[in-house]
Amino acid sequence: MDPAPPPGILCLRDIALADATALLDGHGLTLVAVEDGAPIPGSYWGEPEAGIIGSTVHVRGDTPVHSMLHEACHLIVLPPERRAAVHTDATDSVAEEDATCYLQIVLADTLPGVGSARLMADMDAWGYTYRLGSTRAWFEGDAEDARRWLVERGLLPA
């Protein structure tokens, strides 16, 4: 049996899948929802975590929204030639991982029913760790390098 998300974690079944699909489509990605209970292709951590293969993000209804955004952002930060070769694991640097975490928080504000505050609370509840003690503290006070990395690559406005 797959581990269930902790109580209160926002999952894909809690938001409009069409909104998530449109967000990813705007970044050249495809969102594929598999049936409840089915294996999630390309899931690094295993179900219910999202999976990535090429430009496709795989989810189920019990996939946490933060996981879908995180895996999507791994693909967004990659140049297209690297994105095409991705299967399950997309990161090869701390800078990319930090940029991914930063971007998922930014994109949460564009996803109806989510928002960055909710996403950061879910990230903390899920177990993301930052040296300042919380996702919000990192995002607001220790993520300048991640933001700069994204700006330099044209993924965020200056």
pLDDT at 32 > cutoff 50: yes
Rounded CA separation 106/82 (Å): 23
**Predicted confidence (pLDDT) at residue 28 exceeds the cutoff of 80:** yes
At 138, list the tokens. Answer: 């990192």
CA-based nearest residue to 103, from 43, 148, 64: 148
pLDDT tens readout for residues 45-70? 899 999 999 999 999 999 999 999 99
Which phi and psi angles does 54 have, rounded to 5°?
60, -125
Average pLDDT (99-109) is 97
Instruction: Over range 5-10, report the average pLDDT.
Output: 78
Q: What's residue 92's pLDDT?
A: 75
- pLDDT-above-90 percentage for the chain: 81
Query: Is the predicted pLDDT of residue 98 greater than 80, yes or no?
Result: yes
Q: Answer whether residue 5 shows pLDDT above 70.
A: no
Sheet architecture: strand order including 56-59: 30-33, 56-59, 51-53
- Among the listed residues 47, 29, 33, the one whose alpha carbon sits nearest the alpha carbon of residue 84: 29
Q: What's the pLDDT tens digit per position in 114-152?
A: 999 999 999 999 888 888 889 999 999 999 999 999 999
State pTM to two decimals.
Answer: 0.93
Domain ranges of the chain: 12-148
CA 136 to chain CA centroid, nearest Å = 16
Q: How far apart are CA 57 and CA 21, in angstroms?
A: 10
Tokens of 156: 């965020």
Answer yes or no: is pLDDT of 1 > 50: no
Tokens 């504000």 belong to 109
